Amino acid sequence: MTAALTIAGYGLREALRRKVFVVVCLLTVAFVILYWIGNRYTFRHVADIVPPAGIDAQAFAGAFLFGMAMFGTLFLGTVLAIFLTLGVVRGDAERGLLQPLVVRPVGRGAVLVARFLGAAAVCVPYVLVLYFATMGLTGAEGGWWPDRIVTPGLELAGGVLVVAALSLLGSVFLSSIANGIAIFMIFGGGLVAGLLGNIGHVLNSHGLVHAAKIAAWAMPFEALYQDALREITQNTSGLTGFLLRLGPFGGAEQGGVALRLWVLAYLAIVGALAVAGFARRDL
Amino acid sequence: MSAALAVSGLAKRYGAVEALRGVDLQVEAGELVGLLGPNGAGKSTLVKIACGLVRPTTGRAEVCGARAGSREARAALGYLAEFFRFPGWTSADELLELHQQLAGSGGGEQERRELLDLVGLSDARSRRVEEMSKGMQQRLGIAQALVGAPRLLLLDEPTSALDPVGRRTVRTLLEELRRRGVSVLLNSHLLSEIELVCDRVVILLAGQVVTAGTPAELASPRGVEIDTDRGTEVHADAGRDDVPQFVEQLVRDGRKVYGVRVRTSTLEEVYVEAVGGETE
């Protein structure tokens, strides 16, 4: 474990020295400023809008904007997770960076755990800070707060960890470029699954909804995101609640405890596959 | 005491390509063995199997009595890859510190200073890797391989980027390591270097050992040249043992002998004979 922490710390130092954090922070500040401007103008105009019957305009605007921010948070966290992990095994081996580390009396599994911990140490705080920052902006500008405060943020962070784990697994078998493309496509696949679920709900198609749910659970970062979306409006009822649960980028779906247990099992399976694949890999 | 490296019946297949075909090799404690062979002969594969980066298809490799690739084996060796890269953002000192932590070395700052001194980088302690020349990086790589005082050092082309002075530094270093009892398997294309420092030479061709022995054993007679008052006499088929008889005869004949040279094949000639003209 000491070796894993050493390598994780080494990865973090690299991110610091390479100015990864500076770039990420600057771009994130730009995103937050844009989001704040969006909130400011939206809530300024909401007061002048006469919404259709059954719609709470303030709640609708707040939840919709924040749902969009959650998608943005998940997306930015995903980008960060992928770029921190896409070349951990094959990419670093091809560049000759991995061999000097792997010949040390450190298990290959420990190297993977270390790189996962390093990615988690960056991505989880990043997602949580961005989540709470955007929530605070929406609350301050529009007076709207989600029904659940903490859990949706943790689920978004969990979703990013799932992406990081998949990217680590991919790095064992694929070159950096191929892995990056593959993981972004999988992320896009999850997004499509959510949109299909939306369509299924609107058309009342149980088959489509079922297929979308299976796809979301197969890519559980999407299922976590959908559960997080549901939680922010879980006490909002009526037409407002129905429309909001369709979500801006993938509809809200209940995941609950079963989903969280599945995510833990999923991470364990992905981790085991990565360790087994890495152990068999010639470098 | 077990050999530093013991390899028997080692074979490695990459798909349809047979990189190694039943290699037997032993590196004893404190022995410096040179590994030669044309590109694709299997030298790097052999070294990679020894340090656990590649799994053999069949056969056995042991490092200091432990299965190659095991934690115990990796704790006993130091390795410098042919194609390696260190992160450009680290300083020489930071890189060695990282490897100390991973190797479980308690040598601290003193070990790092000694290693940098040993490879002639004491002035570059705080310099970033990206600010170093390729030769400096290669010397840093050797220092990195020596972290934790390994019993076996596996060096894959350690002098390919070095200038003549850098090569001499490495030769001196290898001699110092031999004095300390460290075993070294040196994979290099620089025959002169191997001839100068190695106790034994192993030549691989197409995944098999074709020649092995000490440089003296491998050298075959190439004749005797004798400088006399009537010019140089050449005895093309003679060897060292024939010299006293030749000199005695010349003196008996009233000739003056100014010098005698026993000619043997160089390692380069041995190598070319062994690989049968295979190009690098």
Across the interface, whether the CB atoms of A10 and B98 are under 8 A apart is answered yes
What's B204's DSSP letter?
E
A150, A257, B96 from B145: Cα distances, Å = 48, 49, 9
Half-sphere exposure of A123 (CA within 13 A, CB side): 32
Instruction: Place A253 in a pLDDT band, splitting at 50, 70 and 90.
Output: confident
Instruction: Tell which residue, A21, A16, A232, has the closest CA to residue A131.
Output: A232
What is the pTM (predicted TM-score) of this model?
Answer: 0.83
Give the type of residue at B11: A
CB < 8 Å & 24+ apart, contacts of A144-149: A144/A58, A144/A59, A144/A61, A144/A62, A144/A63, A144/A66, A145/A62, A146/A63, A146/A66, A146/A231, A146/A232, A146/A233, A147/A231, A147/A232, A147/A233, A147/A234, A147/A235, A147/A236, A148/A231, A148/A232, A148/A234
**pLDDT recorded at residue A250:** 60
**pLDDT recorded at residue A21:** 82
Which of 204-223 (A) contact B at CB < 8 A?
none
By C-alpha distance, the chain B residue nearest A282 is B54
**pLDDT recorded at residue A137:** 95
Interface test with B, best of A22, A92, A104 (most B CBs within 10 A): A104
Instruction: Place A247 in a pLDDT band, splitting at 50, 70 and 90.
Output: low
**Residue A42 token pair:** 């939206």
Distance of CA B39 to the CA centre of its chain: 16
Instruction: Place A267 in a pLDDT band, splitting at 50, 70 and 90.
Output: very high
**pLDDT recorded at residue A184:** 95
Q: What is the ipTM of this complex?
A: 0.78
Across the interface, whether the CB atoms of A97 and B103 are under 8 A apart is answered no
Answer for the pair A120, B89: CB distance below 8 angstroms, yes or no.
no
Q: Edge-to-edge strand order for the sheet containing B32-36?
A: B77-80, B152-156, B183-187, B32-36, B200-205, B208-213
A10, B107, B203, B247, B258 from B215: Cα distances, Å = 44, 36, 12, 27, 28
From CA B50, how far away is CA B77, in angstroms rounded?
A: 9
Instruction: Place A246 in a pLDDT band, splitting at 50, 70 and 90.
Output: low
Instruction: Place B279 in a pLDDT band, splitting at 50, 70 and 90.
Output: low
CB of A1 within 8 Å of a chain B CB? The answer is: no
Which residues in chain B have their CB less than 8 angstroms from residue A97's CB? 85-87
Give the type of residue at B95: L
Greater confidence, A48 or B70? Answer: B70
Mean pLDDT along residues A269-283: 94
Across the interface, whether the CB atoms of A99 and B144 are under 8 A apart is answered no
Q: Which helix (H) or strand (E) holds B7?
A: strand B5-14
Instruction: Tell which residue, B180, B150, B168, has the closest CA to residue A103.
Output: B150
CA distance B227 to chain A (A): 54
The tens digit of pLDDT for each residue in A117-171 reads 999 999 999 999 999 999 999 999 999 899 899 999 999 999 999 999 999 999 9
Which residues in chain B have their CB less than 8 angstroms from residue A7's CB? 102
Instruction: Place B1 in a pLDDT band, splitting at 50, 70 and 90.
Output: low
List residues bridging with B257 in a β-sheet. B228
Measure CB to CB from residue A99 to each of B81, B89, B99 and give the nearest one.
B81
Relative to beta strand B5-14, strand B17-27 is antiparallel
Across the interface, whether the CB atoms of B101 and A282 are under 8 A apart is answered no
Measure CB to CB from residue A103 to each of B14, B53, B101 and give the nearest one.
B53
Interface test with A, best of B67, B83, B102, B152 (most A CBs within 10 A): B102
Answer for the pair A137, A39: CB distance below 8 angstroms, yes or no.
yes
Relative to beta strand B231-235, strand B221-228 is antiparallel
From CA B274, how far away is CA B210, in angstroms rounded?
A: 7
Other CB atoms within 10 A of residue B62 CB: 19
Measure CB to CB from residue B84 to each of A6, A100, A280 and give the nearest one.
A100
**pLDDT recorded at residue B277:** 62
Q: Exposed (0-12), middle (13-18) or buried (19+): which is A188, by Cβ within 10 Å?
A: exposed
CA distance A176 to chain B (A): 17
pLDDT at residue B106 tops 90: no
The boundaries of the domain holding residue A33 are: 2-279
Which residues in chain A have their CB less than 8 angstroms from residue B66's CB? none
By C-alpha distance, the chain A residue nearest B143 is A100
By C-alpha distance, the chain B residue nearest A110 is B102
Task: Report the interhelical angle of A151-173 vs A220-232 (nearest 10°).
Answer: 170
The tally of domains found in chain A comes to 1
pLDDT at residue A54 tops 80: no
CA distance A188 to chain B (A): 32
- Number of cross-chain residue pairs from A and B with Cβ atoms under 8 Å apart: 63
Give the type of residue at A21: F
Across the interface, whether the CB atoms of B74 and A107 are under 8 A apart is answered no
